[in-house]
Chains A and B, each alone.
Chain A
């Protein structure tokens, strides 16, 4: 559902748009609250972080001291209330592993992940549009071959693709580094790996929308009144085909964190995914929760952006939104 975008077209419904945006915000507020609460209690079920903090040789006194220091000795419901009240003031707590503020830890790891995710999104999207437009706009031997390749690629999980890319480009050919984030060349393989999580579904969706768009009346009309092939593709077919693809992009944003975690693990990349795994290993609750909240907000943002883009691309969606 588009949250914005309609204000620009019809100023008369500006108030309604504002109300819609407010409702959306309230909705994400409730969601974050439910998610945080669920995570809080689930994480407390998993074990006692004080044992992890104190180490295996700690005495009972040391354990008690650590519990007192981190407030882990209080009743669970008191801990929960205190956590929530701090959260409302923007305080995500302190990382049990490093002693740094949890939010700072997460925000420091995030840029490295975004530096992979955003180029990967863009790369997948651009490649998918090019490939999809070509695949959908006719039939030929070359196209059938490429469809087959895309089908195989769709069956290749990102982490398998990543490992095979390392095998080929970093080891057999030794063209590119396989580990770490040092310089531009080290971005190539992880970005390609992450893009492969997204590319096949996007390509197949665009190809099928392009194929369908060629059957639509307005495209047939454009062809009938003498529009060139290029005009038909770029002015009539593609904008339409992109609507579904942008919507899918929003949905795939949620997938990116899992994809990023796997990719970062394979390539030893110091991002949020690596942070999530290492934090999970030592039960660093505040950091895990901060990651969950930040990611939930990012996914929400991506979906809102996708909705706005869909509304801008698709007059039907725009009209539907205004009718609400």
Chain B
């Protein structure tokens, strides 16, 4: 299995490396370097890529590269936070349902099915209408829409763990529920959680981009990839670079997340066999 694990490691390192590289470049240029994604030079509108602005400028003369890099911090952090929130809600409810069972489990199951049945976009529109646009609202919205997938998978896995002898034995010797959750369930669930989180991160990147693109997530004019692509639409003919930079950024980041997920998955698969 040596060849397989080498490939898995390569995917894992490549994906993680890409994410880190994007993040540090973004921080270095925008937050440390002080490049302003919102300042534009109206005399230099829709300029083609060149010496002044490496990836060209947009309809307000703003630097596309700087805006893309600013969007990197926004999108990666939003997707990461949304993934964490969904994982936290979904896993906690799954563990509670698995341990307590009965009516509590039924109520949680109903909540899972309701949220899955409600079209995510409708919830997103409502939540954003209530709490407004911005970084935190988009994180909360995505977390609130997408936690059920964690509950479903983790609940099924926890129930199978619950039936194992060593868990029954720990119960017999008087271990508390909290101890069983912390020291038996969570370590055993770690591989599944890590793999799911990586793929969820990819989904959240796409969802955040789509919501921003629809004008639902980020405030107008904020430098996010989705906003930039929406801005680029009227100019696809005259200034295609406006579209290509954020499109490339989102594709590369989603691929990086998928690489991490695939790498983790095959690493854990090998360990099991």
Contacts and interface: CB of A to CB of B under 8 A. Distances in A.
Interface in B166-223: 202, 205-206, 209-210, 213-214
A261 B206 contact: no
Interface stretch (B22-30, B88-96, B251-259): B251-259
Contacts of A31: 110, 113-114, 117
Contacts, number: 117
Contacts of B255: 151-152, 154-155
Interface of B: 110, 113-114, 116-123, 125-127, 129-130, 202, 205-206, 209-210, 213-214, 229, 232-233, 236-237, 240, 243, 247, 250-252, 254-255, 258
Given A159-B210, A265-B214, A299 B237 contact: no
B115 to A, nearest CB: 9
Main secondary structure of the interface of A (DSSP, over half): helix
Nearest to B111: A34
Given A159-B210, A254-B117, A262-B214, 11 more contacts: A27-B113, A155-B202, A155-B251, A156-B251, A157-B250, A159-B209, A254-B116, A257-B121, A261-B121, A276-B119, A292-B119
A291 B117 CA distance: 12
24 contacts: A31-B110, A38-B114, A38-B118, A39-B118, A39-B126, A46-B126, A151-B255, A151-B258, A154-B258, A156-B251, A157-B209, A158-B210, A159-B209, A160-B250, A163-B229, A171-B237, A262-B210, A262-B213, A277-B125, A277-B214, A283-B129, A288-B122, A292-B118, A296-B117
A31 to B, nearest CB: 5
Interface in A148-204: 151-152, 154-160, 163-164, 166-167, 171
Contacts of A261: 121, 214
Nearest to A178: B236
A283 B126 CA distance: 9
Contacts of B237: 171
A35 B233 contact: no
A9 to B, nearest CB: 27
